[in-house]
Amino acid sequence: MLLLFILIFFVSTVVFFGTYKLWSYLQLSSVLDREINHLWQRAPDKLKVVVERYLVLKFAGNKAHLSFFVWLLLATISAATSITNREPLVFIFFALVLLMVFNKRRTLWLKRNKTLVKELPDFCDLISMMMASGVPLILALEKVADSCNERLLASEINAVVQRLRRGNGFDASMKALSDGCDAKPIKEWVTMLVKGHQQGASLTKPLRFFAHQLRQELLNSAEKRAQEAPVKLLFPLVTCFFPVNFLVILGPIILQMSQGGFT
């Protein structure tokens, strides 16, 4: 029995090592990545948006096409297992895991968008100050992002700067930022910067006005949420808090009356 176990272990090790060497020798990783990328290019645009926003896996290196391939492979395996073994629970489990990941990623994405919108007024003021001192728009964006590198919006601006260094146009680079965020204030800000860059107009006053207007909108939104809090607290108070209080206060009285009343 021990000899059989050693033999199985030795054969498994040889097969694994041989497969790894063959994989490395034929450079199948680059071939597979190229084919996956080719398949990804043919995918519908809406599917690309969903994968890029919600289903990019950490172990896939934040590459959307690899994430798409991983989820497609898992779906195929779970569907084949369900059909072969006549166990629909396998595919149902995969669907539940997919929905859980989708919901978590969507929550993180919405939280990220809110953070970007909150940081935007300060960045507008800093960019306006830089441009008022004679610094060009692109250089002002780069300097502001470097000085506020701990902010989330700074990382997005740095990504825009990297695209510009690779030779992409300013319009396309800023559009990629707005498409990745999909927040109305970010889109308005990007549109203003693109038009100002195209027309060569001064953006000092528009940026200051936009920052003031956005701060006022954020303040009004916070006040609205504060006013809605009592209404939202009404249901848990009526269903959970008040019945327990009535039970604690009136319970002994009802119990005493049921036993003959007070003496």
Helix segments in 27-87, DSSP class H: 28-41, 45-54, 64-85
**Residue 158 within a domain:** yes
pLDDT band at 212 (very low <50, low <70, confident <90, very high): very high
Cα 139 from Cα 144, distance rounded (Å): 9
**Residue 214 within a domain:** yes
Most confident of 2-6, 110-114, 256-260: 110-114
Residues 118, 218: contact at Cβ < 8 Å? yes
Residue 201 has which token pair? 């107009």
The residue length of the chain stands at 263
**Residue 164 within a domain:** yes
**Residue 224 within a domain:** no
pLDDT of 160 higher than 60? yes
Tell me, rounded to whole angstroms, the distance of Cα 57 from its chain centroid: 11
pLDDT digits (tens, 9 = 90+) for 214-257: 999 989 988 888 888 888 888 877 788 777 777 777 777 777 77
Tell me, rounded to whole angstroms, the distance of Cα 215 from its chain centroid: 24
Cα 172 from Cα 164, distance rounded (Å): 9
Residue 191: name the closest of 212, 208, 170 by CA. Answer: 170
State the pTM of this model: 0.67
pLDDT of 93 higher than 70? yes
pLDDT of 37 higher than 80? no
The CB-side HSE value for 69 (13 A sphere, CA atoms) comes to 19
Other beta carbons less than 10 A from residue 160's beta carbon: 23
pLDDT of 143 higher than 80? yes
What pLDDT, on the 0 to 100 scale, is given for residue 5?
63
Cα 19 from Cα 5, distance rounded (Å): 21
* Cα Rg of the chain (Å, integer): 29
Residue 38 has which token pair? 């080719």
Q: Which residue has the higher pLDDT, 66 or 150?
A: 150
**Residue 152 within a domain:** yes
Amino acid present at 94: F
Residue that has been written with the tokens 């669907």 in this structure: 95
pLDDT band at 135 (very low <50, low <70, confident <90, very high): confident
pLDDT digits (tens, 9 = 90+) for 161-177: 888 888 888 888 888 88
pLDDT band at 25 (very low <50, low <70, confident <90, very high): low
Cα 142 from Cα 157, distance rounded (Å): 7
In percent, the amount of the chain with pLDDT more than 90 equals: 6
**Residue 176 within a domain:** yes
What pLDDT, on the 0 to 100 scale, is given for residue 100?
85
pLDDT band at 106 (very low <50, low <70, confident <90, very high): confident
pLDDT of 137 higher than 80? yes
**Residue 154 within a domain:** yes
**Residue 228 within a domain:** no
Q: Which domain holds residue 132?
A: 123-218
What pLDDT, on the 0 to 100 scale, is given for residue 209?
92
Instruction: Say how many domains are in the chain.
Output: 1
Residues 55, 69: contact at Cβ < 8 Å? no
